[in-house]
Structure 1
Amino acid sequence: MKTIIILAILIIPLFASTNSLITLPHIETIDSNGVPVFYAQDTLPQCTVYVSIGVGSLYEHATNAGISQMAALVLSLGGSKNYPNINEYIDATGGRYTVSASFETLTISMRVHQDEATQAFTILADIIANPLFETQLIHTARFMLKQQIQQKQDDPMTIAMEKARQYVFGDSGYGAVMTPESLDAITVADVEQLWKKYVVKENVRIGIVTSLNKENVMQQVAQLTDALPHGEAVDYPVDLQNAKNTISTKKIYFIEKDIPQSTIVIATVAPSIKSNNRYALEAGNYILGGGSFNSWLMDEIRVKRGYAYSTGSIVRMRKNTGLFLAYAQTSAATTLSTIEIMENVLANFTKTGPSQQQLQWAKDALLKSYIFEFTSLRDIVQYYMWLDYNKLPVSYIQKYPDGITSVTNSDITSSFESIASGYIIVVVGNKDVKQQLDAGKINYSVAK
């Protein structure tokens, strides 16, 4: 039985800064056969559909790392059993079709002229019900992904960050890094099983931006949601205790590479998106290393000493856990000094926090840039899908500016205590750096 229930029509007032109020467009949240659908009416004669599935690299293990990207690439190359030439159709109609996999979601996106909407929904329903996972497409996707891995070997920053994630989180989640071996182990049956497990009503959300009226569109959506079987909403596990045990060592891992400069990454666990420290960490990170030349790391390492080619920090808080990274690229001769400075900056930042002027600078920057999350109807619909995936209320849109505004110095120092209390350090550098580590009698492990 096909059911469509309108749950809400939302007009959200949004503070983009302290003195301006912006109202976001209508977004309707609709239930279609048990699947949440987020609908926005556009003035352009087009139809854009997003099908977002709760699966990505955080759901993977070292043994199958890359399977989400492989599934996405195979679907983008092929399509479905009844529509194997989907890209020819897209080219002929001037549309767009993409399939992408991220840390937490695999998303199918199709954008066509409104006159092609009926055909687009028919094709999407067939992709859901009859994905084309054939051997030749798997081979092609595997080859392309191996090329990506090979290209990464020329980027020491990517190497350092991936290794840092592995050391902190082990073999799963953030630590599940795609390798040639993990790709070789993935079979057609594995990809089909992934599809069967995750592509179910309880694990999917749909976004639509179109000029077509709601009644017309929801009739089309019903065939898409009807193609989804029932199943279970699947979440990814996180072994936080193991990660905390790892970061408590503050261990250094060295990767030797014949390059003139070194890459340094400090990595540790950050909380989930629902953490009460979410706003303080975001504001604090902006001051510590996210805010370009005005950040603490940039000022101490590059401005005052001229050590770093680049330096900064990143904090990512996701559904079940988060990740903090501080990084710098410097010459081999200044590698150990730069590590010391990075650790001291992090410790001092946690102890004293930013000045009131720095805190206000960060707040202003974050609040004024927040509006760029909503620059188009497609951005807004995808934001609603992100909220739904993370089980955050729609009121989060409004609460975010209030949360940033309310951050105090003590909030930042308190939230960064867990960041500074435990972490690991990854260094990618040449043999001269290794000799410096040995000469300094610094305890480290050699990694490949």
Structure 2
Amino acid sequence: MSQSKGPRFALLALTLAVAAGGIGFYLFDLRNSQASQALDAAKAGNKLQSLAELDSKAPARRTLNVQTWKTAEGAKVLFVEAHELPMFNLNLTFAAGSSQDGKAAGLAALTNAMLNEGVAGKDVGAIAQGFEGLGADFGNGSYKDMAIASLRSLSAPDKRGPALKLFAEVVGRPTFPADSLARIKNQLLAGFEYQKQNPGKLASLELSKRLYGDHPYAHSSEGTAQSIPPITLEQLRAFHAKAYAAGNVVIALVGDLSRNEAEGIAAQVSAALPKGPALPKIAQPEEPKASLGHIEFPSKQTTILMAQQGIDRTDPDYAALSLGNQILGGGGFGTRLMSEVREKRGLTYGVYSGFSPMQARGPFQINLQTRAEMSEGTLKLVDDVVADYLKNGPTQKELDDAKREMTGSFPLSNASNSSIVGQLGVMGFYDLPLDYLENFVQQTQALTVDQVKSAMNKHLSVDRMIVVTAGPTVPQKPLPPPTDKPTEQPLGVPEH
């Protein structure tokens, strides 16, 4: 799924990519794998003018009143009434990500990509034209923990009714055409070939294996060149019947709807899904040993990835870790890592860190690229910055600045229906309380330097880091000395 870049305090906004384990893992863009010429032509020929015009309106700050219930089939529903615009957003979040693949890596991704390829009487082009003709937008995506299907539509009954009918067919009764499966497999296989030229992706794949071993999080969400070809239509249908069941979904609704209308929509969608219970939660992974791996790759740059297992989404230290990481490397300029590695020495264009809490312990990761001949020194510098931060913690000024930035960016996280519906889906999927967002802000604002330092040390250690580098083996040069004058042109220009 395509996503726009949010405010620097991205963890607060609970974007779906982060919730699914996206930071630094170079997730494959499934929109490319599911796109077809017919779909592209339909989008190009019939622009969503009505929704584009609605998007241009200034966002309004609102207090969220989250209502919740369950459908007759067992689907959890979260709903926020928002009458500012004559439209609504509907997100279905299934526990149907790649962690449910079993031995068929890529099964979840293929199933999700095939949803809108065909329903009874309609092929992919007709489905796309059907949504576009109603001023509606269908979206889908598959990640580590979850799979998503979404609908954005005008709320007028003459538009809403047909859009919901088509959406329910696409998600609940896809036909999985054989020709579409062959085409998407070929697109994935072509993507795997391209990945061989991407050192960041190669390093990420190796890092995941080292970090998670035999755990379901270890394999790539899109599968492999070996696992994709054998997957059959029967496997897709069986996975859909099991993982896209009404008892395995969270329905999030935001928009110009009454409670009765929202109940009717949720009931309609839930009834269209296969019948079945929620799938078991993913088990926690075993803690790996620290290790260092290198992938030889011809380039002037070396990609450096450092990671260890972090936390799951329900960990009580999440607020403290979010704030602590924001200071370490969770944003742009001004973080500890960016200041020491780029601003003072010009070793990279960017260095970032982040927690990706998931259903089980997701990764904490640091990623950057630097000149190959300075890769060893840069790796040691990053290690030293992290060690110093864990030893001494943030300064009071750093903490106050991070809190102020969080307070300033929070209104953006509930300024649009699309941002709210994504948050509701995550809250429902991870069983977070309905007042989670408000409580999260209060918790963060109350944190002290000692609390942040304690949480970071509880969950992070430089002695547990798994490091994977990808680049050439070349003689090393010493790092330039630090300077207080910001470097205008970094020494290393990323090539990938």
* Same fold per superposition (TM over 0.5): yes
Tell me which residue corresponds to 2:279.
234
State the distance in 1 between where 2:407 and 2:359 align. Answer: 22
- Offset of residue 217 of structure 1: 4.7
- Offset of residue 362 of structure 1: 1.6
SS at match of 2:345: coil
Compared CA separation, residues 287 and 47, structure 1 to 2 (3 A): closer
Tell me which residue corresponds to 1:54.
95
Q: Would you say how many aligned residue pairs link Structure 1 and Structure 2?
A: 410
Q: 1:101 aligns with which of 123, 142, 146?
A: 142
* Residue identity in the other structure for 2:466: I
SS at match of 2:305: strand
- Offset of residue 216 of structure 1: 4.0
* Residue identity in the other structure for 2:145: E
Q: 2:164 aligns with which of 94, 113, 121?
A: 121
The alignment status of 1:331 with 2:371, answered yes or no, reads yes
The alignment status of 1:164 with 2:202, answered yes or no, reads no
Unaligned runs of 5+ residues in structure 1 are 1-14, 17-21, 437-448
Compared CA separation, residues 291 and 127, structure 1 to 2 (3 A): closer
- Offset of residue 128 of structure 1: 4.1
Compared CA separation, residues 215 and 43, structure 1 to 2 (3 A): same
Compared CA separation, residues 109 and 401, structure 1 to 2 (3 A): same
Q: Is the 8 A contact 2:91 2:252 kept in 1?
A: yes
Compared CA separation, residues 312 and 220, structure 1 to 2 (3 A): closer
- Offset of residue 168 of structure 1: 0.3
Tell me which residue corresponds to 1:136.
179
State the distance in 2 between where 1:315 and 1:64 align. Answer: 27
- Offset of residue 239 of structure 1: 4.5
* Residue identity in the other structure for 1:423: M
Q: Deviations over 1:281-327 (max 9, x none)?
A: 11111111113221111222222222223212121112222211112
Tell me which residue corresponds to 2:388.
348
Tell me which residue corresponds to 1:200.
245
State the distance in 1 between where 2:464 and 2:402 align. Answer: 25
Q: 1:187 aligns with which of 232, 236, 239?
A: 232
Q: Is the 8 A contact 1:60 1:176 kept in 2?
A: no
State the distance in 2 between where 1:46 and 1:410 align. Answer: 46
Q: 2:431 aligns with which of 369, 391, 408?
A: 391
Q: Is the 8 A contact 1:203 1:232 kept in 2?
A: yes
Tell me which residue corresponds to 2:189.
146
- Larger proportion of strand: 1
State the distance in 2 between where 1:162 and 1:407 align. Answer: 36
State the distance in 2 between where 1:127 and 1:291 align. Answer: 38
Tell me which residue corresponds to 1:310.
350
The alignment status of 1:373 with 2:413, answered yes or no, reads yes
Q: Is the 8 A contact 1:60 1:172 kept in 2?
A: no
Compared CA separation, residues 211 and 409, structure 1 to 2 (3 A): closer
1:83-98 counterparts in 2 under 5 A? 83-84=122-123, 85-98=126-139
Larger relative contact order (CA 8 Å, sep ≥ 6): 2
SS at match of 1:205: strand
* Residue identity in the other structure for 2:239: L
- Offset of residue 55 of structure 1: 1.4
Tell me which residue corresponds to 1:79.
118
Q: Is the 8 A contact 2:393 2:449 kept in 1?
A: yes
Greater shift after overlay, 256-265 or 172-181? 172-181
- Offset of residue 37 of structure 1: 2.5
Q: Is the 8 A contact 1:55 1:68 kept in 2?
A: yes
SS at match of 1:181: coil
Tell me which residue corresponds to 2:470.
428
- Larger proportion of helix: 1
State the distance in 2 between where 1:120 and 1:373 align. Answer: 27
Q: Deviations over 1:337-393 (max 9, x none)?
A: 111111111111111111111111122222322222212123223312211110110
State the distance in 1 between where 2:93 and 2:121 align. Answer: 21
State the distance in 1 between where 2:323 and 2:75 align. Answer: 35
State the distance in 1 between where 2:115 and 2:389 align. Answer: 46
Tell me which residue corresponds to 1:441.
none
Q: Is the 8 A contact 2:342 2:348 kept in 1?
A: yes
Compared CA separation, residues 311 and 386, structure 1 to 2 (3 A): same
State the distance in 2 between where 1:337 and 1:98 align. Answer: 44
State the distance in 2 between where 1:331 and 1:82 align. Answer: 55
State the distance in 1 between where 2:325 and 2:194 align. Answer: 30
- Offset of residue 236 of structure 1: 4.2
* Residue identity in the other structure for 1:133: F
Q: Is the 8 A contact 2:114 2:176 kept in 1?
A: yes
Tell me which residue corresponds to 1:285.
325
The alignment status of 1:45 with 2:86, answered yes or no, reads yes
Greater shift after overlay, 261-270 or 131-140? 131-140
The root-mean-square deviation of aligned C-alpha atoms, in Å, is 2.5
Give TM-score scaled by structure 2 length.
0.76
State the distance in 1 between where 2:363 and 2:352 align. Answer: 14
Identical-residue share of aligned pairs (%): 24
State the distance in 2 between where 1:308 and 1:139 align. Answer: 41
* Residue identity in the other structure for 2:207: A
- Offset of residue 195 of structure 1: 0.8
- Offset of residue 86 of structure 1: 1.2
Tell me which residue corresponds to 1:111.
152
SS at match of 2:278: coil
Greater shift after overlay, 277-286 or 102-111? 102-111
* Residue identity in the other structure for 1:343: D
Q: Is the 8 A contact 1:290 1:312 kept in 2?
A: yes
Unaligned runs of 5+ residues in structure 2 are 1-11, 14-60, 478-496
State the distance in 2 between where 1:310 and 1:27 align. Answer: 38
Tell me which residue corresponds to 2:198.
155
Give TM-score scaled by structure 1 length.
0.84
Q: 1:357 aligns with which of 397, 405, 409?
A: 397
